Structure 1
């Protein structure tokens, strides 16, 4: 029997930010350990020992949260990604790029925020990897949907994979520029998967970009050309990272980073010519 040691991620707080009439809240479902040299094979040990590098845990992994973003506007609610679900896997049972992996906290985080899963009318997926769709689809034919009222949104290329289709779910294919929720538009950001999509909320004179897995850790802003082992189209992913970084440094732009440990809400600023992530104090 194997035992999963959960990475040291705190679940007790839901960081919330207001943008005009919108309220965005980070909901943490679980966490995963990323092996720095396997996840980023172009990196070296020296890249992870500097003062400005991501902190490694006691076992030498990058602790990365698995989060979702709740967007509320008046009486409506959108959820961007749905975590890993009620699952866990010990490091010896996963693949070489990761260590311990677990989910299960999203419903509690949602309830702590005062929302019920039935309040969600739209679920938007950046892509259909397991750590982004875990609570979105029933685990078996007799398992009810957690979000019974929600229409599901992803790119046509993601839905074309077919594995996540279900007659019990209303799905919609979104392309760049499509408004999928009041103030929220889809933006193609391919590379991690063919149909990977970012979502851009414009409200209150600012915009917030939920960029999914375009970046997994802040270190990639200084090294956008690093290959990520899990990117389906590495060359396209590099182009997307460069384009996304340019967008994130524009004025009045904030971001939601699904897997950033320090804070998934932040902004990107250039310091001495190097883009650096700054967490929002929310």
Structure 2
């Protein structure tokens, strides 16, 4: 059965929802692998049981999603995934092409943060901008962190490689890098930044609003869906500030639950759209039921 041709790979890698007059398409860039040792928790065994009780694979998979926004004359991406396609990731450009969209068509890129699985796709194999006509928006504290020499010196060797990547992105895009904070207002009609610092200092989510409808797209609020909704204090080793990351997660989950927001996430199971519901001392995620769109 595993050798059967995968005719439907492209068809299942893009999924669109409408938020008022704005269309948002989840695009799966692929996946990576996690490990239970990536979890920062006082009870890692409980975390592993929660994961396995949902019949999830071991080792855990990390879904990698990007999001395409169509709004009037704007064509924007939230995050850029990995670059050159590999066996498991780097599929964004291929899937954009299947939608009839070329990198030069993208005018705006909204970054949740600059870890490699979100930002490496901003550069092509020759270190040139993958999206030659796009402005790149990110929180000002995010850029300051990756350009800080003290933070670079404290990072591991792998971490320093990510610092070098971000600095190459900054050089490549130059004046098209735009820094924001929570006071920036709408980047274009219906889209604004929401601060969620902790995973990285300038980690952000993006709120899309049109008419009476809203969608909150977050980055690395959740890595382990079976664990971190139920136990929102649970962090991962990739968090720059674990305490702040847990605080941001609890605030954003409470915000989404209280407002009954439609949400989507970089590492939620594709296509990732759904709602957050308070449950016991934590939360649970209710995936949106599929329905046809225009």
**TMscore range, shorter length:** 0.7 to 0.9
Determine the structure 2 residue equivalent to 1:72: 70
Aligned equivalents of 2:282, 2:41: Cα separation in 1: 21
The one of 160, 172, 177 aligned to 1:171 = 177
Determine the structure 1 residue equivalent to 2:198: 191
* Structure 1 unpaired stretches of 5+: 1-8, 89-100
Aligned equivalents of 1:262, 1:117: Cα separation in 2: 22
Q: Secondary structure at the match of 2:122?
A: coil
Indicate yes or no: 2:142 matched with 1:158.
yes
Determine the structure 2 residue equivalent to 1:108: 94
Cα distance, 1:54–1:147 mapped onto 2, change above 3 Å? farther
Determine the structure 2 residue equivalent to 1:260: 268
Determine the structure 2 residue equivalent to 1:149: 133
Aligned equivalents of 1:44, 1:220: Cα separation in 2: 12
1:41: Cα distance to partner?
A: 4.3
Cα distance, 1:106–1:43 mapped onto 2, change above 3 Å? farther
How big is each residue's C-alpha offset from its partner over 1:227-262, in whole Å with a ceiling of 9 and x where there is no partner?
311100011111111111111102341111111125
Count of residue pairs the alignment pairs up = 258
> Any conservation in 2 of the 1:76–1:119 contact (CA below 8 Å)?
no
**What is the TM-score normalised by the length of structure 2?**
0.80
Determine the structure 2 residue equivalent to 1:49: 49
1:48: Cα distance to partner?
A: 2.8
* Runs of 4+, deviation exceeding 6 Å: none
Equivalent residues in 2 for 1:221-260, closer than 5 Å: 221-260=229-268
* Structure 2 unpaired stretches of 5+: 1-7, 148-166
Q: State the superposition RMSD in angstroms.
A: 2.3
> Any conservation in 1 of the 2:198–2:239 contact (CA below 8 Å)?
yes
Aligned equivalents of 1:262, 1:106: Cα separation in 2: 14
Determine the structure 1 residue equivalent to 2:126: 140
Aligned equivalents of 2:170, 2:54: Cα separation in 1: 37
Q: Secondary structure at the match of 2:214?
A: strand
Determine the structure 2 residue equivalent to 1:38: 38
Q: Secondary structure at the match of 1:111?
A: helix
